[in-house]
Amino acid sequence: MDSYGASLGWALLTGRDADLEPPSAWWRGPAWVKAVLAGSALAVLLGLTYGSWARYLGGGSVPLVFFLLILQITPPLLVVRFPLTAVRVAAAGMISAIIAILFPADYALFGPTLSEWPLQVQVLPYLPVLAMTLARTKPGQGIGISIIAVALAVAVGIAWIPRAGTKTLVWSLVVVAVTIVAGYGMQQRRRALEQADAAERTTVEERTKRATLQERALIARELHDIIGHHLSLIALRTDSARYRVPDVSEAAAEEFHAIGVAAREALDEARRLVGVLRDTDAEPEHEPQPGLAEVPSLIDGCRASGIEIRAEIDDGDGIPALVELAAYRILQEALSNAARHSPGAGVDVVVRREPDALTILVENGAPSRPAAPTAGDGTGLAGIAERVTLIGGTYEAGPRPDGGFRVAVELDLPRVSDA
Instruction: Kindly state whether residue 172 falls inside one of the protein's structural domains.
Output: no
Same domain for 127 and 11 = yes
Tens digit of each residue's pLDDT (9 = 90 or more) over 24-83: 766 667 878 878 888 888 888 777 777 777 777 776 778 888 888 888 888 888 888 899
Same domain for 158 and 9 = yes
- Name residue 175's beta-bridge partners: none
Same domain for 319 and 362 = yes
User: pTM for this structure?
Assistant: 0.50
Instruction: Kindly state whether residue 330 falls inside one of the protein's structural domains.
Output: yes
Same domain for 356 and 308 = yes
Let me know the angle formed at the C-alpha of 90 by 78 and 60, rounded to the nearest 5 degrees. 110
Same domain for 118 and 90 = yes
Give me the tens of pLDDT residue by residue for the chain, a chain 419 residues long.
Answer: 557 778 888 888 888 888 888 877 666 678 788 788 888 888 887 777 777 777 777 767 788 888 888 888 888 888 888 999 999 998 888 888 888 877 776 654 544 444 555 666 667 778 889 999 998 888 888 888 999 989 988 888 888 787 777 877 888 888 889 999 999 998 888 888 888 888 888 778 888 777 777 777 777 666 666 676 667 667 767 776 766 777 778 788 788 878 877 877 777 776 666 665 555 454 545 456 788 888 998 888 888 777 889 999 988 788 888 888 889 888 988 888 887 778 888 899 999 998 889 999 999 988 887 765 544 555 567 778 878 887 889 999 989 888 889 999 999 987 644 44
Instruction: Kindly state whether residue 197 falls inside one of the protein's structural domains.
Output: no
Instruction: Give CA–CA dist 307/349, Å, rounded.
Output: 12
What pLDDT shows up at residue 409?
94
Tens digit of each residue's pLDDT (9 = 90 or more) over 302-345: 887 778 899 999 887 888 888 888 898 889 888 888 877 788 88
Same domain for 78 and 48 = yes
**Strand-pair category, 357-364 with 309-313:** unpaired
| Beta carbons of 325 and 358 less than 8 angstroms apart | no
Query: What domain range is 328 assigned to?
Result: 292-418
- The dihedral through the CA atoms of 249, 255, 258, 259 has a sign that is negative
Instruction: Give CA–CA dist 360/358, Å, rounded.
Output: 7
Give the count of beta carbons closer than 10 Å to the beta carbon of residue 259: 16
Contacts 24+ apart (CB under 8 A), 213-220: 214/279, 215/379, 215/382, 215/383, 215/386, 215/387, 216/277, 216/386, 217/277, 217/278, 217/279, 217/282, 219/386, 219/387, 219/390, 220/273, 220/274, 220/277, 220/278
Q: What's the chain's Rg over C-alpha atoms?
A: 38
> Total structural domains in the chain?
3
